[in-house]
Amino acid sequence: MRQALVEAEACRSSGDVPVGAVVVDADGTLLGTGRNEREAAGDPTAHAEVLALRAAARARGGWRLDGCTLVVTLEPCTMCAGAIVLARVPRLLLGAWDPRYGAAGSLRDVVRDRRLNHTVEVVGGVLEQECRALLDGFFAGRRDGG
């Protein structure tokens, strides 16, 4: 999660919501990283999770991420949760829960929906206070005109 927080911090320069993600294999080897780049890239799909999954798939040489863990600072949205399921990621570690858009247990639970062809183990609240503080600081700055 510490590496995902480093990725989230790097969003400061682009004005993107500070969310970071990393994918590690079963041995803990870093396969891919991502940070929100919607503003920087002008791409509505440039979420941290999607970018980390793409990088990990390139590193692996294939789209199946069996045996991997996705670590992300904020609970994934529905789009990202779908990507996690489709990539066959077995484990998701998340920092802060997202009651407005979360799709890993808060608003929806896409990643554990038994009707889908794959389900994901979810561990939430990892370094939650640090992840939440980063987000709260970003949005407080936006409300204050910063």
Positions marked active-site = 49
The DSSP 8-state label assigned to residue 62 in this structure reads S
Q: Show the tokens assigned to 89.
A: 């990621």
DSSP of 109-122, one letter per residue?
BGGG-TTSS---EE
Spatial distance between the Cα atoms of 56 and 64, rounded to a whole number of angstroms: 9
**CA 111 from centre of chain:** 13
Residue from 141, 135, 127, 143 nearest 17 by CA: 135
Spatial distance between the Cα atoms of 60 and 46, rounded to a whole number of angstroms: 20
